[in-house]
Amino acid sequence: MGLFDRFRRKGRTGGRTSAPARDAARTGSTRVRASDGEDARHLESFVTTRQGVEGFVEPRTAVSDVTILLVAHDGEWTRRRVPSVKWAHDFANRHQVPSYDAAVVGVPQRMRDYNKRKKAEGI
């Protein structure tokens, strides 16, 4: 094998890229799992069982579709894929949860503090 042979093997097993997802118009050229009903049920459960929840809508990236990050008053959080940015804000509005664009405001300090506490507890 020559020095640059591995870069010429695109399309063969072991290549660096994979085929686009079936719904390439929505997901772009990478393989990402689309949101489903289980994601929506989980988000609904989180919102109804926690206090002081805020939503942070995260844009699509190269490795993930649009997500919503829900953070409770104590910093406990969950993140799930959602169909679109509009769906995420509509979900938050339906559940009377303030929602923000995470790319603009970032994530709350209480979430980072919660993660630090859990790490210190060994969880």
Q: Domain residues of the chain, as ranges?
A: 37-121
Specify the higher pLDDT residue, 22 or 12.
Answer: 22
Kindly report the length of the chain. Answer: 123
pLDDT of 82 strictly over 70: yes
Q: Residue 33: helix, strand or coil by DSSP?
A: coil
- Asked whether 71 and 60 are in contact (CB, 8 A), the reply is no
The C-alpha atoms of residue 66 and residue 58 are separated, in whole angstroms, by: 6
* Mean pLDDT to the nearest integer, 55-61: 96
- Separation in Å, CA 120 to CA 22, 55, 74, 77, 108: 42, 26, 16, 17, 19
pLDDT recorded at residue 34: 72
Residue 37 has what pLDDT? 86
